[in-house]
């Protein structure tokens, strides 16, 4: 097993890998006590069957990861991941750029009918016909030296991935679904997904009031907390817990004594530097013109009586997805079904592109009585209905 600890070694490895059409990639990281993931290991492997993979140690003293970042940006080499979102986030944080082009075997598995968010171990069993030793799954990847067992486990994540990728690549080409996956990969590699704007952080909160005043304070506190978490590289809840933040937003204390009465804060918290910053954030929010305060989202009132239509669309979605071997979740969400039931021209993914061809067109035809669902020998089937002239 090759472990890369020097920049020159990494440069030589990446130059070799850039000669291939694709490279399999995985990362090991820690995030229990930090805001940003701490990259602890990068595993790489070429399509060469004799290649047992290489582990790059980003914690090695003096190593420069620039050759790795250049490989991630090489448009001639497909970067193959499984469940790529967190891996991509790490590269964006370290380099400011999204790896491209990318092939995510988890998404490909959904396109090919393996189910919703199928795990890597399941694919290794079903496609590569191998078993993975799971004993190292929850190991501390930041500790050095790494054991042979740790490295063996880590590298299995990229060696078996070759078999899965090549199998999926052939299946996608055989059933003309490569464009479906390409569409999903373009979404996955959208830089906007990985940009965390503190001013938008409050949208993650499960707010319990639609009062613009409450929302203005919650927005200010969310932005302050996100900024602090990024600056200190600490998890959000280590700065301030969600429930405490929402309690403060509801009470809107104006001084340290009032803040100390909030459930979940320590004694004399209000007089601390953090407490004073919270009070200042509240005061600044309330000082803004009321017309600038966030407004509650207008609730979409769905037409009365569409419940049964939505239930029929759920059955239809399951039928279409199973017939075509595609994960339901990839085709349409519950909100999509409600919107389709309410509006033929709803702006939802299920009414566009391949999703419309697979499901959306049938959903509209079912709504308008052009087709129906029936039970035939215990199974649901579609039936064409005669149309009155």
Tell me the average pLDDT of the chain. 94
Q: Verify that 205 and 188 share a domain, yes or no.
A: no
CB 326 within 8 A of CB 110: yes
What single-letter DSSP state applies at residue 124?
Answer: I
The answer to whether residue 300 scores a pLDDT higher than 70 is no
Residue 299 has a pLDDT of 65
> Please, which residues have CB within 8 angstroms of residue 244's CB and are 6 or more apart in sequence?
262, 263, 264, 265
Q: Verify that 92 and 165 share a domain, yes or no.
A: yes
Residue 337 has a pLDDT of 96
User: Computed over its alpha carbons, how large is the radius of gyration of the chain?
Assistant: 26
Task: List, for residues 335-353, the tens digit of each pLDDT value.
Answer: 999 999 999 999 999 999 9
Residue 92 in domain = yes
pLDDT band for 143, please (50, 70, 90 cuts): very high
Share above pLDDT 70 across residues of the chain, in percent, rounded to a whole number: 98
Q: Verify that 225 and 130 share a domain, yes or no.
A: no
**DSSP β-ladder status, 78-81 and 22-30:** parallel
CB 92 within 8 A of CB 73: no
Residue 156 in domain = yes
Higher pLDDT, 303 or 202: 202
Q: Verify that 188 and 205 share a domain, yes or no.
A: no
CATH number at residue 286: 1.10.150.80
Residue 56 in domain = yes
Residue 2 in domain = no
The answer to whether residue 366 scores a pLDDT higher than 70 is yes
The tally of domains found in the chain comes to 3
> Please, which residues have CB within 8 angstroms of residue 366's CB and are 6 or more apart in sequence?
312, 313, 316, 372, 373
93-111: burial string, b at 16+ Cβ within 10 Å, e else: ebbeebbbbbbbbbbbbbb
The C-alpha atoms of residue 108 and residue 165 are separated, in whole angstroms, by 9
Task: List, for residues 181-222, the tens digit of each pLDDT value.
Answer: 999 999 999 999 998 899 999 999 999 889 999 999 999 999
The answer to whether residue 389 scores a pLDDT higher than 60 is no
CATH number at residue 115: 3.30.420.10
Task: List, for residues 184-194, the tens digit of each pLDDT value.
Answer: 999 999 999 99
Task: List, for residues 221-234, the tens digit of each pLDDT value.
Answer: 999 999 999 999 99
CATH number at residue 355: 1.10.150
Residue 53 in domain = yes
CB 282 within 8 A of CB 217: yes
Chain-centroid distance, C-alpha 280: 34
The C-alpha atoms of residue 266 and residue 278 are separated, in whole angstroms, by 14
Instruction: Find the mean pLDDT for residues 76-87.
Output: 97
DSSP assignments along 267-310, one per residue: TTGGGSHHHHHHHHHHHHHHHS-GGGS--PPPP--PPTT-HHHH
Residue 389 in domain = no
Residue 368 in domain = yes
Last-in-domain residue among 175, 193, 211 = 193
Q: Verify that 156 and 22 share a domain, yes or no.
A: yes
Q: Verify that 83 and 111 share a domain, yes or no.
A: yes
Instruction: Say what the alpha-carbon torsion angle 124, 130, 134, 137 is, to the nearest 10 degrees.
Output: -40
Last-in-domain residue among 131, 161, 193 = 193
Higher pLDDT, 389 or 167: 167
What single-letter DSSP state applies at residue 41?
Answer: E
Q: Verify that 75 and 173 share a domain, yes or no.
A: yes
Rounded to 5°, angle at Cα 360 from 359 and 362: 70
CB 65 within 8 A of CB 83: no
Q: Within 10 A of 247 (CB to CB), how many other CB atoms are there?
A: 16
Task: List, for residues 350-364, the tens digit of each pLDDT value.
Answer: 999 999 999 999 999
Instruction: Name the residue range of residue 347's domain.
Output: 306-384
CB 239 within 8 A of CB 34: no
Last-in-domain residue among 159, 193, 227 = 193
Share above pLDDT 90 across residues of the chain, in percent, rounded to a whole number: 86
Q: Verify that 280 and 331 share a domain, yes or no.
A: no
Region at 96 (left for phi over 0; alpha for psi -120 to 50; beta for the rest): left
Q: Verify that 188 and 125 share a domain, yes or no.
A: yes
Residue 33 has a pLDDT of 92
Q: Verify that 369 and 337 share a domain, yes or no.
A: yes
Residue 276 in domain = yes
Q: Verify that 356 and 273 share a domain, yes or no.
A: no
User: Roughly what angle, to the nearest 10 degrees, separates helices 242-251 and 212-232?
Assistant: 140
> Where would I find the beta strands (DSSP E) of the chain?
2-4, 22-30, 38-45, 54-56, 78-81, 102-104, 371-376, 379-384
3-state secondary structure of 78: strand
Instruction: Find the mean pLDDT for residues 151-165.
Output: 95
Q: Verify that 127 and 261 share a domain, yes or no.
A: no
**DSSP β-ladder status, 54-56 and 2-4:** parallel
Residue 127 has a pLDDT of 95
């Amino acid at each position: 097993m090759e472990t890369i600890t020097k920049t020159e070694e990494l440069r030589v490895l990446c130059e070799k890998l850039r000669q291939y059409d694709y490279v399999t990639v995985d990362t090991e990281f820690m995030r229990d006590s930090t805001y940003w993931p701490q990259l602890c290991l990068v595993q790489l492997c070429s399509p060469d069957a004799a290649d047992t993979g290489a582990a790059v140690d980003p914690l090695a003293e003096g190593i420069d990861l620039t050759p790795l970042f250049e490989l991630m940006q090489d448009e001639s080499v497909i970067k193959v991941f499984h469940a790529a979102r967190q891996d991509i986030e790490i590269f964006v944080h370290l380099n400011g750029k999204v790896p491209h082009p990318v092939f995510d075997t988890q998404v490909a598995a959904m396109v090919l009918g393996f189910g919703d968010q199928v795990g890597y171990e399941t694919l290794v069993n079903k496609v590569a016909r191998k078993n993975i030793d799971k004993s190292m799954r929850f190991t501390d990847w930041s500790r050095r030296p790494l054991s042979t067992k740790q490295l063996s486990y880590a590298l299995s994540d990229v060696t078996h991935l070759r078999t899965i990728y090549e199998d999926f690549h052939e299946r996608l080409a055989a059933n003309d679904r490569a464009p479906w996956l390409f569409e999903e990969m373009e979404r996955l590699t959208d830089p906007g997904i990985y940009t965390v704007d503190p001013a938008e952080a409050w949208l993650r909160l499960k707010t319990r009031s639609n009062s613009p005043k409450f929302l203005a304070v919650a927005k200010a506190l969310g932005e302050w907390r996100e900024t602090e978490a990024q600056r200190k590289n600490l998890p959000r809840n280590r700065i301030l817990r969600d429930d405490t933040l929402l309690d403060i937003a509801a009470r809107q204390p104006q001084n340290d004594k009032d803040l100390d009465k909030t459930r979940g804060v320590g004694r004399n918290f209000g007089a601390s530097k953090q407490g004073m910053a919270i009070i200042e954030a509240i005061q600044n929010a309330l000082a803004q013109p009321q017309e600038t305060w966030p407004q509650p989202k207008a609730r979409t009132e769905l037409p009365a009586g569409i419940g049964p239509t939505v239930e029929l669309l759920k059955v239809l979605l399951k039928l279409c997805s199973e017939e075509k071997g595609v994960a339901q979740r990839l085709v349409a969400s519950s909100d999509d079904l409600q919107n389709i039931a309410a509006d033929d021209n709803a702006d939802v993914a299920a009414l566009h592109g391949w999703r419309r061809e697979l499901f959306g067109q049938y959903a509209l035809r079912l709504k308008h009585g052009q087709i129906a669902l029936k039970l035939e020998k215990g199974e649901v089937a579609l039936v064409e209905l005669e149309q009155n002239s």
